[in-house]
Amino acid sequence: MKLARLLPAIVLACHAAAQDHDIVVYGGTASAVIAAVQAKKMGKSVIVVSPDKHLGGLSSGGLGFTDTGNKATIGGLSREFYHRVWQHYEKPEAWVQQKKSEYGGKGQGTPAVDGENRTMWIFEPHVAEQVFEDFVKEHGIEVVRGEWLDRAKGVKKTGDRIETITTLSGKTFAGRMFIDATYEGDLMAAAGVDYHVGREAQSVYGEKWAGVQVGVLHHGHHFGKMNISPYIVPGDPKSGVLPHISTEPPGEFGAGDMKVQAYCFRMCLTDDPSNRIPIEKPAGYDSNRYELLLRVFEKGWRETFHKFDPIPNHKTDTNNHGPFSTDNIGANWDYPEASYERRREIIADHERYQKGWLYFIANDPRVPKDVQEQMQKWGLPKDEFKDNGNWSHQLYIREARRMIGSYVMTENELLKKRPTPDSVGMGSYGIDSHNIQRYITPEGHVQNEGDIGTSTKGPYEIAYGSLVPKKGQGANLLVPVACSASHIAYGSIRMEPVFMILGQSAATAAAMAMDAGIAVQDVPYEKLRAVLLKDGQVLHYDGPKTSRGVDPKSIKGIVVDDADAKKTGEWKESAAAKAFIGDGYSHDENAKDGKARALFAAKLDKGGEYRIFFAAPHNNNRATNALMEIHHMGGVQRMKLDLRAPSPGDGVCWHDLGTYEYAPGDTSEVIISNKDADGYVVVDAVRWVAE
């Protein structure tokens, strides 16, 4: 009898030991914070169980040059974050190492709209972290830090519902709803939800860009036709292979694998001597790791500093750029499923690799002097990441696990080949995968593989079903970061503003499911949609496909966009420039093969003289001798055009090709080719203006 009386008390004591909340958010990312804020705004008790000490994930970990796509699609609390960043930089005291007027609106632009919603998309890491901390403080959100989920036995479920999660420290958290807002999808995986790691084959979802992409060269983050030997002694396979090159076959084109795109730290650097810590040799430094970079320099490549993107106060958000850069290609394939200990080893190796990369360029006597002298101007900022040796606390986990949920987002939804059901947010950034492997070609050269950069041709909607598991696998779990998407679709969805958008939508659905006593899969979409719209989310968009694109109809004269040009040879689409005509532009991927040709034609009903202009976004990697042909009444005018010429401000770059005469009804043709080009040949539009 005594034992029987004691049992209920024991059960009650066990329940009391678990911290109990309406919604438990696992993760410390930007998405986690936004989800918690939304839950609190909807009147729910919420706790953030964060493995990380610092809140904000990559948004506060160095990615301050925000990948936005079309800013008009970013609403709700995500937009409020960027509004608060703008508010910070409106204060004179925010500009410590630089005058506000000096920085101006560089990069992707400072304001999006006027008034209360004005935003700033470029910021320093500590500023972002303070915004997230302010969110937490203002809304009274409970946060426990340094608590790592016990992935082996820390998830207790009854049927398809999670009851509690327990961390390695032994703390237990009970909730009615759970949100996994980690980059890795650790809670989702530990709860037994289906997921995928790596690339799907093209056949799985019918995606053009899926699977191994041998022979496809995007972005310029490859060796192209440099024909660099991968061997220690150039041309001698018996001498062994240089570091960071795989000796395994890359796989068949279009086939799937379990490899993930490369990670790196988004380094925050400064060239301000008053705030700069010189680059030091890291422990375990091995100069042999960078031998391949020397061979790239020997080929004349000089783009080391092209992604030292300027953020306020003479700092950078430095990202990977080129064939051998800050991405530690192939060193992260086991990260998604790895133990915490193994993940720490991978993170440490990435830090060692990148610090070594910096030190090598700044100090090795074999590095070209012009590159070395420029690198010596850079160092770590004293006022960032003060408790972590001034180095970022967050590795860029571009992709890890991805849930296979109620609905899987694919390339087909992003490219609008089929409609997306039940929109809970939007994305618009291009489909962007970094390289996945570095291998040896049959010809005996080194090459990178996996880099994808293709336009989505405007904003796209993201399905509610991509945030929830399949029915029967998790009735009270939502996953806004490691969401349900193919590798290709995730290449665009994986942007920080989108993660914040999806975090807000996930918390909204969690609160509604809890109130109705239903599974998250059964939340009525129309009711969810109404709440999301009320809270400022953008679920559908009919405006210009990109905020940087200029409508050809708004320009004086006859304008033919590159989308309407007759192109032969290989051309790649892009929308990375600050401004362009239409939805993007095309480039020849620096092929230098003489096969890429674009013909722009316009019928001129009225005769007379026409001044002709050619648009092409400028960059230092452009050709200085792009071959142009202008067909007119008097014959053919041939010229070589310097595409590196800068554009006026952040506007479209128009090159004046001269004035030519035409008879009424003539068709004027302007042709550009990459014959003998010494850089990228880029085409955007041609314009005819009657004189």
Q: Which of 481, 304, 494, 328 is nearest to 395 (CA)?
A: 328
Instruction: Render 197-256 in DSSP notation, one character per residue.
Output: ESBPPHHHHT-TT-S--TT---TT-S-TT-----EEETTEEEEEE-TT---S----TT--
Q: Which of 453, 425, 582 is nearest to 73 (CA)?
A: 425
Which DSSP helix (H) or strand (E) runs through 380?
Answer: strand 379-381
Cα gap 83→63, rounded to integer Å: 17
Higher pLDDT, 109 or 46: 46
Q: Which of 178, 167, 168, 333 is nearest to 262 (CA)?
A: 333
What one-letter code names the amino acid at 162?
I
Cα gap 358→348, rounded to integer Å: 15
What one-letter code names the amino acid at 251?
G
First to last CA, the chain: 105
Say if residues 660 and 668 touch (Cβ distance below 8 Å): yes
Q: Is 511 exposed, middle or buried (0-12, 13-18, 19+ CB in 10 A)?
A: buried
| pLDDT confidence band for 2 (50 / 70 / 90) | very low
Is the pLDDT assigned to residue 171 strictly greater than 90? yes
Is the pLDDT assigned to residue 8 strictly greater than 50? no
Say if residues 50 and 203 touch (Cβ distance below 8 Å): no
Tell me, what's the pLDDT at 69? 83
Is the pLDDT assigned to residue 138 strictly greater than 80? yes
Say if residues 259 and 436 touch (Cβ distance below 8 Å): yes
What one-letter code names the amino acid at 661?
E
Cα gap 682→590, rounded to integer Å: 9
Provide the mean pLDDT of the chain.
Answer: 92
Say if residues 603 and 631 touch (Cβ distance below 8 Å): no
pTM higher than 0.85, yes or no? no
Q: What six digits make up the tokens of 361? A: 């360029």
Tell me, what's the pLDDT at 70? 86
Tell me, what's the pLDDT at 68? 85
Cα gap 628→620, rounded to integer Å: 19
Tell me, what's the pLDDT at 15? 41
User: Which segments within 129-213 are labelled E, that is strand?
Assistant: 142-145, 155-158, 161-166, 172-180, 195-197
Cα gap 659→219, rounded to integer Å: 35
Cα gap 509→647, rounded to integer Å: 46
Calculate what percentage of the chain has a pLDDT beyond 70: 94
656 SS3 class? strand
Cα gap 225→628, rounded to integer Å: 24
Q: Pairing between strand 379-381 and 566-568?
A: unpaired
Q: What is the pLDDT of residues 238-261, one digit of tens each?
A: 999 999 999 999 999 999 999 999
| pLDDT confidence band for 547 (50 / 70 / 90) | low
| pLDDT confidence band for 647 (50 / 70 / 90) | low
Calculate what percentage of the chain has a pLDDT beyond 90: 82
Cα gap 26→575, rounded to integer Å: 35
Instruction: Render 432-455 in DSSP notation, one character per residue.
Output: EE---EEEE-TTS-EEEE--EEE-
167 SS3 class? strand
Cα gap 574→457, rounded to integer Å: 10
Tally the C-alpha atoms within 13 A of residue 629's C-alpha that lie toward its C-beta: 14
Domains annotated on the chain, with CATH: 549-690 (2.60.120.260)
Is the pLDDT assigned to residue 515 strictly greater than 60? yes
Say if residues 331 and 346 touch (Cβ distance below 8 Å): yes
Say if residues 545 and 416 touch (Cβ distance below 8 Å): no
Say if residues 432 and 392 touch (Cβ distance below 8 Å): no
| pLDDT confidence band for 491 (50 / 70 / 90) | very high
Q: What six digits make up the tokens of 256? A: 């799937």
Say if residues 581 and 615 touch (Cβ distance below 8 Å): yes
| pLDDT confidence band for 12 (50 / 70 / 90) | very low
Q: What six digits make up the tokens of 257? A: 């694998």
467 SS3 class? helix
Q: Which of 182, 206, 178, 208 is nearest to 195 (CA)?
A: 182
Q: What six digits make up the tokens of 649? A: 């401000």
156-161: average pLDDT: 98
Q: What is the pLDDT of residues 367-407, one digit of tens each?
A: 999 999 999 999 999 999 999 999 999 999 999 999 999 99
Distance of CA 215 to the CA centre of its chain: 23
Cα gap 140→3, rounded to integer Å: 42
Who's near 455: CB < 8 A, 6+ residues apart?
430, 431, 573, 574, 575, 583, 584
Phi/psi zone of residue 569: left (φ > 0), alpha (ψ -120 to 50 degrees), beta?
left
Tell me, what's the pLDDT at 236? 97
Say if residues 331 and 353 touch (Cβ distance below 8 Å): yes
Phi/psi zone of residue 528: left (φ > 0), alpha (ψ -120 to 50 degrees), beta?
alpha
Say if residues 27 and 51 touch (Cβ distance below 8 Å): yes
Cα gap 176→160, rounded to integer Å: 12
Helical pair 30-41 and 496-516, crossing angle rounded to 10 deg = 40
Cα gap 63→53, rounded to integer Å: 18
Distances (CA, A) of 220 to 158, 211, 469, 660, 679: 51, 19, 37, 36, 11
671 SS3 class? strand
Give the helix ranges, DSSP H, for 277-422.
Answer: 291-298, 340-363, 369-375, 411-414
Q: What is the pLDDT of residues 202-224, one digit of tens each?
A: 999 999 999 999 988 777 789 98
Phi/psi zone of residue 395: left (φ > 0), alpha (ψ -120 to 50 degrees), beta?
beta
Q: What is the pLDDT of residues 449-459, one digit of tens each?
A: 999 988 898 89
Q: Which of 489, 377, 499, 371 is nearest to 81 (CA)?
A: 499
Say if residues 126 and 384 touch (Cβ distance below 8 Å): yes
Cα gap 30→50, rounded to integer Å: 11
Is the pLDDT assigned to residue 460 strictly greater than 50? yes
Say if residues 308 and 237 touch (Cβ distance below 8 Å): no
Maximum Cα interatomic distance, the chain, rounded to a whole number of Å: 111
Task: Report the 3 state secondary structure along 595-624.
Answer: CCEEEEEEEECCCEEEEEEEECCCCCCECC
Distance of CA 583 to the CA centre of its chain: 19
422 SS3 class? coil
